[in-house]
Amino acid sequence: MNYDLLIDLHKDNKRQGPGGDEQTIQALQLAGLASSSEPLNVADIGCGTGASTVTLAKHLNADITAVDLFQDFLDILNANAKKHGVADKITTLAGPMEKLLFEKGSLDVIWAEGAIYNMGFAKGVEYFKRFLKPGGILAASEITWLTKERPAEIQQHWDVEYPEIATASDKIKVLEEHGFVLKGYFPLPESSWIDNYYTPLENAYDAFLNKHKSDDARAIIESEKMEVSLYKKYQSYFSYGFYIAQKS
Ligand code: SAH
């Protein structure tokens, strides 16, 4: 995997995965967090360039630590935070989500949009839980089947790409098995995929290919195109589900 190329393709887009400011706010409302008087300790895991981080900072009284593997994304996040006047609420930390440096039981909220799949949902839920206070909130979006059955082509695609894909009821079961109580669930709407993620990505293809004239670069664009066309064809069968759960 050529990470430098992937970073270069994705870093100038507002989001590095499907999502939306409205959906972040909807999840916040389901979490019941909006009106805290004490600053909340929040971690945004796999934050990318910080679309959700900035929205969280605008709506919460919070100290937010934004964690991502790639410093290039965090540099842009810091610039965005300044632009939106919320830099004082955000600290960035480059590192793997598999090895977080928080104290156990120290966080009020763990946020992870389009990112927990990097370690796997069940593993992530189990690992992140230890860093939450009792009553703390985990809000994560995760690839989810919307139907009980689906066409072979899309089934096979996800069986290869992310075998942990499952229906919402199965994902909720994972949360419950790890001691979480579900506070809310909703699937991301089409606009979170197309308007907010795929269209800006498609608009970046030409400049990317002009800048990087390599087989690797062409292969990355081909694979993005394949992903977009599968989404457009099969979007009634899968989406990201947004899960908001409380540690009991
Ligand atoms: N939350 C952002 C980004 C989602 S894309 C958004 O919604 O726009 C997934 C992000 O996870 C990328 O920014 C990628 O750099 C990051 N990532 C991938 N593997 C990671 C890991 N092991 N640890 C931390 N971050 C990781």
* Long-range pairs of 206-209 with CB within 8 A, sequence gap ≥ 24: 208/8, 208/9
Dist. CA 33–CA 85, nearest whole Å? 21
Q: How many A from CA of 224 to the centre of ligand 1? A: 16
Closest residue CA from atom 13 of ligand 1: 48
Which pLDDT score is estimated for 37?
A: 80
Check: CB of residue 115 under 8 Å from CB of residue 46: yes
Which pLDDT score is estimated for 113?
A: 98
C-alpha R_g of the chain: 18
Q: How many A from CA of 45 to the centre of ligand 1? A: 7
Q: For residue 66, which amino acid is it?
A: A
Check: CB of residue 247 under 8 Å from CB of residue 138: yes
Residue with tokens 């389009």: 114
Q: List the one residue out of 50, 53, 98, 96 whose CA is nearest residue 73.
A: 50
Q: How many A from CA of 83 to the centre of ligand 1? A: 22
Q: How many A from CA of 72 to the centre of ligand 1? A: 12
Closest residue CA from atom 1 of ligand 1: 47
- What are the tokens at 4? 């430098």
Q: How many A from CA of 151 to the centre of ligand 1? A: 29
As assigned by CATH, the class of the 17-191+238-247 domain is: alpha beta
Task: List the chain pLDDT tens, one digit each, 248 residues.
Answer: 789 999 999 999 999 999 999 999 999 999 998 666 889 999 999 999 999 999 999 999 999 999 999 999 999 999 999 999 999 999 999 999 999 999 999 999 999 999 999 999 999 999 999 999 999 999 999 999 999 999 999 999 999 999 999 999 999 999 999 999 999 999 999 999 999 999 999 999 999 999 999 999 999 999 999 999 999 999 999 999 999 999 99
Q: What is the model's pTM?
A: 0.98
Length of the chain: 248
Q: List the one residue out of 27, 21, 23, 74 whose CA is nearest residue 47.
A: 74
Which pLDDT score is estimated for 38?
A: 86
User: Which residues form the pocket of ligand 1, taking CB atoms under 6 Å from any ligand atom?
Assistant: 15-17, 19, 46-48, 51-52, 68-70, 73, 96-98, 113-115, 118
Dist. CA 41–CA 29, nearest whole Å? 17
Burial 178-192 (b: 16+ CB within 10 A, else e): bebebbbbbbbbbeb
* Backbone φ, ψ for residue 60 (5° rounding): -125, 145
CA 201, 205, 207: angle at the middle one, nearest 5?
120
* Pocket mutation for ligand 1, best pick of 55, 118, 188 (most atoms within 8 Å of C-beta): 118
Alpha carbon 232 to its chain's center? 20
- What are the tokens at 129? 């839980």
* Pocket mutation for ligand 1, best pick of 7, 23, 44, 47 (most atoms within 8 Å of C-beta): 47
Pick the atom of ligand 1 nearest to 119's CA.
22
Between strands 180-187 and 238-247, the pairing is antiparallel
Dist. CA 60–CA 43, nearest whole Å? 12
- What are the tokens at 194? 């197309």
Pick the atom of ligand 1 nearest to 118's CA.
19
Check: CB of residue 31 under 8 Å from CB of residue 238: no
Which pLDDT score is estimated for 228?
A: 98
Which pLDDT score is estimated for 34?
A: 63
Q: How many A from CA of 25 to the centre of ligand 1? A: 20
Residue with tokens 């690797």: 216
Q: How many A from CA of 133 to the centre of ligand 1? A: 24
* Pocket mutation for ligand 1, best pick of 80, 97, 162 (most atoms within 8 Å of C-beta): 97
Q: How many A from CA of 120 to the centre of ligand 1? A: 12
CA 45, 46, 49: angle at the middle one, nearest 5?
115
